[in-house]
Amino acid sequence: MAQFKTDLRDIYFTLFNVLKIQNHTDYSENDMKDVINECNKFIEKEIYPSRTIGDQQGVHLIDGKVTVPAAFHAPLKKYYENGWYGIGYAEEIGGMPTPHAVSLACQSIMNGANVAFAMYPGLTRGAMDVILKVGSVEQKDSIIPKMMSGEWGGTMCLTEPGAGSDVGAATTIATPNGDGTFKIKGIKIFISSGDNDLYQNIIHLVLARTPGAPAGTKGLSLFIVPKFREDGSVNDVRCTKVEEKMGIHGQATCEITFGSNGDCVGVLIGKEFDGMINMFIMMNEARVLCGVQAEAQANLSYMLTEQYARERVQFGKEIAHHPDVKRTLIKMRSMSRALRLLVLYTADLFDRVHADKSLQDEIAFMTPICKAYCSDEGFNVAIDAIQTHGGYGFCSEYGIEQFARDMKIATIYEGTNGIQAVDFTMRKVLKDNAKTFMSVGAKIQKTMARPEAQIFKEELALIAKNLEKAQAIVNRFGAEALAKKPDAILFHATSFLSFSGNLVASWLLLEAACEAIKSLTTATNEEEKAYYQSKMLDFRFFVQQQLVKNVGLSYSMLNFVEDLSELNV
């Protein structure tokens, strides 16, 4: 397995030069760097070594018990003991209340090192966040301390056989017992971290219907269903299958059967019929985390590929100096850094929204881009990593092919990328008459007007043309067309999200390039200068090689066939 590498310099540049998170937190820049640096050291020493062996050992269901790779146990214990799980949480519950962007940067490093491992505390964080926001005082007091200590884990249980992405078709039933508890009966599938031997207890958040509930998602309520009850007795919750998957072999993806013996007890969290609203607290975080999973693995796979290309000699010189390989490396670097900018920019919005509530709409706008664009393009970076390693990339020797296998799921779970595209187009753009889309466009224009940006004449012209096309596409997709032929718009939703992702990524790379130009004036050595120049090259290359794809995408969206019956499948 290749040596672990993290581009801390680029993480710090993104956080402190581009996003300037130090301006809206009580933490000093050095303190935040120390947190990330120490977390990176821990992950390199304790978590990264478990990546390959965890992939090889996998998860097993034997005699009703689920075991995860043995190599995961010690690192997870140390992860909690060292306080890394508590990053981003309030001190009163035992956390370290860093900015969200710092917390996400640390989660990114861990997801790059071993995404299958990272998902166990990741799912627990998601479940805990729901309990913190909508749970009763009693629920918080009994569950949160156990989750913070690492004794208890958590899951989210939505998907059912036959229902798939159609959550509203769920049939799991919650019948009142008359004492405030409910009898839960049903089957949930594809449950990440669904059962394991890492935690003493697992808290399942389960979507279910109460008797007489309305059909569809409006009739769903959310329930806390523990693997073990308060008295230590076993609840009627069983893992009945562990999925064999293309990747994330160390992650326990389970079929969970609730109440097969009629004795599964759960309690309502939040109000009845608010199940989807409350679950989306977790779902939206999970969708951003999907983007992080892809961004993280894209960045690490690039770092390892660059290292390999500088060492591998072919035709008398390192392959990094061969033109096509150099092109591929710049392509990988510019995209992986763009994805980092996307997820950390969005994470920073979560901090800034407290002072500016209008940013809530931008968070909603950016979430499907983080999830879908990052996972689509991050997977492409992983494929380029394999290609650059040649035959060694296709083999398991360097651990490169694992990135592609582990990353692909991010395009599928937490709402497929097709569903993200529909949500983005119909709800995040058209529903508010593109108000948020245009406010982001105004930010892009502001960056384009920066003095430092003026050296990029041709690139700015292409971005300006993209903004014009964006307005034309929104008009084309507008109210009149939406009312007449909504399916025709849905047909192009994925293209629209890709178009928007390319545009937003170009903007953020431009912002980074402008900050690099400013920093060049105070650079003290050649290595520092080379880094800042690479940021400028990233932007130019991305616009010339990636943003230009929007020319074709815009043509197809502006000339779409309104009657899909004309298109045969």
Residue 458 is part of a domain; what is its CATH number?
1.20.140
Is residue 130, in this structure, part of any structural domain at all?
no
Do residues 504 and 364 both lie within one domain? no
How far is it, in rounded angstroms, from Cα 401 to Cα 393? 6
Split into its structural domains, the chain has a count of 3
* Cα dihedral across residues 81, 3, 30, 450: positive or negative: negative
Do residues 281 and 405 both lie within one domain? yes
Assess contact for 506 and 547: CB atoms under 8 A: yes
Do residues 459 and 401 both lie within one domain? no
Is residue 543, in this structure, part of any structural domain at all?
yes
Is residue 429, in this structure, part of any structural domain at all?
yes
Check whether 123 has a pLDDT greater than 70: yes
396, 411, 426: which is the final residue of a domain? 411
Do residues 285 and 266 both lie within one domain? no
Task: Give tens-digit pLDDT for 248-289.
Answer: 999 999 999 999 999 999 999 999 999 989 987 777 777 889
Percent of the chain scored above 90 by pLDDT?
A: 86
Do residues 313 and 401 both lie within one domain? yes
Do residues 397 and 348 both lie within one domain? yes
368, 391, 411: which is the final residue of a domain? 411
Please give the C-alpha separations between residue 189 and each of 14, 163, 350, 413, in angstroms, as whole numbers.
38, 10, 31, 12
Is residue 502, in this structure, part of any structural domain at all?
yes
Token readout for 163 is: 């229902």
Residue 269 is part of a domain; what is its CATH number?
2.40.110.20
What letters, b where the CB count within 10 A reaches 16 and e where it falls short, cover 35-49? bbeebbebbbebbbb
Domain coverage including residue 481: 417-566
Do residues 162 and 91 both lie within one domain? no
Please give the C-alpha separations between residue 209 and each of 190, 278, 450, in angstroms, as whole numbers.
19, 14, 54
Q: How many CA atoms lie within 13 A of 269 on its CB side?
A: 32
Token readout for 329 is: 């490396």
How far is it, in rounded angstroms, from Cα 69 to Cα 235? 25
Residue 525, amino acid: N
Assess contact for 143 and 152: CB atoms under 8 A: yes
Is residue 147, in this structure, part of any structural domain at all?
no
Do residues 362 and 404 both lie within one domain? yes
Is residue 139, in this structure, part of any structural domain at all?
no
Taking the mean position of all CA atoms in its chain, how far away is CA 404? 15
Check whether 523 has a pLDDT greater than 80: yes
Label residue 55 by pLDDT band (50, 70, 90). very high
Catalytic site residue 46? no
Check whether 1 has a pLDDT greater than 70: no
Task: Give tens-digit pLDDT for 142-198.
Answer: 999 999 999 999 999 999 987 656 666 678 999 999 999 999 999 999 999 999 999
Is residue 467, in this structure, part of any structural domain at all?
yes
Place of tokens 């105004």: 442
Q: What is the pLDDT of residue 483?
A: 64
How far is it, in rounded angstroms, from Cα 389 to Cα 398? 9
Check whether 31 has a pLDDT greater than 70: yes
Is residue 141, in this structure, part of any structural domain at all?
no
How far is it, in rounded angstroms, from Cα 548 to Cα 31? 40
Do residues 269 and 283 both lie within one domain? no
Do residues 177 and 313 both lie within one domain? no
pTM: 0.95
Do residues 88 and 203 both lie within one domain? no
362, 394, 411: which is the final residue of a domain? 411
Q: Which entry of 306, 414, 511, 515 is annotated as an active-site residue? A: 414
